[in-house]
Amino acid sequence: MAGVIATLFRRPGWWRALTYTIIAGAFGLALVVILRKVSGLPAFQTVQTGYPQVVVPAITAPLGFLIGIGCFDYWFRWAIGAPTFPAEREHENHGAYSWRDYFKVNTDHKVIGIQYLVTTFFFFVVGGFLAMLFRAERARRA
């Protein structure tokens, strides 16, 4: 069991990305709270003055996600002087062989293009639906 968990978090993937997102967001929040306490300010601000304790985690959490999903693995290995993976190994799972492969991280430019198109159409439909809801609400009030 411990070996399976260690393998899940050693390789880039969704579980590692989720864990790193939570850890990085908590780190950002703790950093703001500690710095505010050290400087003599209250740890959390009220509604009237805004919420700066949300801004830093809003930056650190996506960075944690990117690190967890594996975007910086090659660069981190290069930066510390560890051997990097040869180009053949990076592209051994190149391309899509089933519809499930379009939901995974992939280095194939055709798969990435299709992922962009599907994401664009999805948000276009969601945006159109929300615009329709807003217009229906305004029409009901008029």
- pLDDT of 87 higher than 60: no
The encoded tokens of residue 141 equal: 């009030």
CA distance 53 to 117: 35
- pLDDT of 117 higher than 90: yes
Average pLDDT over residues 70-76: 83
pTM exceeding the 0.95 threshold for the entire prediction: no
Where does the pLDDT of residue 111 fall: very low under 50, low under 70, confident under 90, or very high at 90 and above?
A: confident
CA distance 50 to 53: 9
Helix (H, G, I), strand (E, B) or coil at 132: helix
Where does the pLDDT of residue 78 fall: very low under 50, low under 70, confident under 90, or very high at 90 and above?
A: confident
pLDDT of residue 131: 95
The encoded tokens of residue 119 equal: 């994401």
Task: Identify whether the C-beta of residue 28 lies closer than 8 Å to the C-beta of residue 80.
Answer: no
